[in-house]
Structure 1
Amino acid sequence: MKLNYLIIGLFFCFKCYSQDNTIFIIFEDRNDLLVEKRILNLGSEMKTIHYKYFFSSDKNDCESKNDNFWLRFSKYDDFDKLNAKEETLNFKINKSFIKKNKKILFSKKKFDNMGYCDTIEMLRKAQHIFLIDLEDIVNDKVTIKKVTLQEELSSPEKPVEIKEIKN
């Protein structure tokens, strides 16, 4: 019962933040070559899911040489959280949330309409990013997972410098 109150409280809290601070994303992989899901399972405690979004070259609307980004969900954000048993926030709510909140949910189509630069800028500014994987719907319940943005290393904002190591 306490869990239900917690979930309802979190829902209303996140709904209040939806304008600027919190972003809800729908992940739908229907044989789309521009999205990808990879699962890295290093035991039950270290399962990580990477959701990758690609932009076609005509959708890359800025000077960035990058045209994709990852959203990462892990049961624990890092080893400190694992040791403290502080799991990454994820919760189940009724799938009607998707229909009722369609205006605030971002999909691949919305990202494409925004373009790469506007999308990545919005994600960088977000305090919270939540992802709904449509494959996770079970018994009319959808799992909402807190994810983190993982940009490619080739991004001009984070140049990769390779130095030769001499012995």
Structure 2
Amino acid sequence: MRVHQYVYFALASSQVPAADITARLGIKPDEVTIRGSRHTEPPVPVCHTWRIVCRKPGLTVDEQINQILDRLYAHAYRIGELATELDQIDGSPGSSVLQVVRVFEHPDGEDADLTSPAEDLQILPGQHQLLGWHLETRALEFLRRTHAELDIDEYAYG
């Protein structure tokens, strides 16, 4: 089995552009989207987004999350304040999200490492080293401070 995965933290708004979010936070995003940049009626994408992304291969999901937290944790309260404002401007909650995306059998994914970590153990097919992850206390606190939802999407390629 091959696994391709990445994690991002995003702030999204139907009204406030990513450039304004950048100016407020003073943190340059890795990626942005512009509402209606692909189609205007109906608008696609449906909102502006500001993202910090980890696509580093070889890391588990919790390691990828920690890469993002290393960059943003010190700013969590300010991000949470802005998320609250964005929710009020847009009239609905959900402007802040920590997103996990995994695609199984993706051609760009990583193969399972079937070498044994210990002499008496045997790794069987399907026991991919990237499967399984957890959220540490710091990650849970970050979600609380930023008022973020945790969204996990898993797909099969093809």
With structure 1 as the length reference, what TM-score do the two structures score?
Answer: 0.26
With structure 2 as the length reference, what TM-score do the two structures score?
Answer: 0.27
- Structure with greater strand share of residues: 1
